[in-house]
Structure 1
Amino acid sequence: MGKIITRLMIETAYEYSRKVFHNEMDLGSALNSISLLSGMHRGTALSHISDFCSMMKGEGYRSKITADATKYYLLNIHNDYDKEYFNKALKAVKLHIKNYKKEKQKNLIRLRIVVDEFEKEKLVTKV
């Protein structure tokens, strides 16, 4: 079993993912900061940054961050950015679920529940 991903790790990864996405910090420095501040392994931090950037572009992603991290990312993208970015992020998560099911023949049930929660709240149209 892998190391548990803590709330601090998720929050720190989100903060530095934003900096990388906006070209405020280079990837290597962000990975070092996330690891130093939260204890997250650099490889895991890379997945979180990569997935955040894919969400912001509305692109499916291959690495798999936890459902809790995905929920945190979606909620904060909703709060920190405009409707367009939130909708792109939600689209990216849906693409990830679809591609993961196709490639691995597995359903990401917890992730699907997260998407359903956001759609149920109609955040897609309210943002």
Structure 2
Amino acid sequence: MKITFEMSEAAYEIAKKVYSGQITRTEGKIEINKNTGMNEGSAQAFITIFLAMMSGEVYKRAFNNETNRLLFESIKRDYGKEYFIKALDASQKHVNYYSTLGKGNLSGLQSIINEMRS
């Protein structure tokens, strides 16, 4: 199933509740699934990627570029420049990681990162 922009918007709001400790990752995954129809595996990945972005850590799963852009813009709006930079750093680490897998590169995501940094 394709993850739509609307699913990602709703998932972001739930992932914020996980980040703030209001709900657990498991509760968040279930809530995303229930509210958006996103499967639980993708919902878990969404939360994992969001938490990695908030801490500046590498993540291993990928999302579509529309979702990546939503995450960057939402983190910048809701958490400020420091966390926005961490999100860009985490995504750059993801691009670098992905390039070692021999499956090509994430040129679309790299373009978004470059655009957002300037």
**TM bucket by the smaller chain?**
over 0.9
Q: Which amino acid aligns with 2:51?
A: C
Structure 1 runs not aligned, ≥5 long: 121-127
How many angstroms does 1:105 deviate by?
A: 4.3
Among 26, 29, 32, the alignment partner of 1:31 is: 29
User: What TM-score results when the alignment is normalised by the length of structure 1?
Assistant: 0.88
Superposed counterparts of 1:13-32, under 5 Å: 13-32=11-30
Task: Give the number of aligned pairs.
Answer: 118
By how many angstroms is 1:8 displaced?
A: 1.5
1:56 maps to what in 2? 54
- In structure 2, the partner of 1:112 is 110
CA distance in 2, matches of 1:82, 1:118: 14
Counterpart Cα distance in 2 of 1:64 and 1:105: 13
Shift of 1:27: 1.5
Partner of 2:4: 6
Q: Deviations over 1:82-101 (max 9, x none)?
A: 22111111100000000100
Q: CA RMSD in A?
A: 1.1
Identity %: 32
1:75 maps to 2:73: yes
Runs of 4 or more consecutive aligned structure 1 residues displaced over 6 Å after TM superposition: none
**Under a length normalisation based on structure 2, what TM-score does the superposition of the two structures give?**
0.94
CA distance in 2, matches of 1:100, 1:66: 14
SS of match in other structure, 2:101: helix
> Counterpart of 1:124?
none
Q: CA deviation at 1:32?
A: 1.4
Corresponding position of 2:44: 46
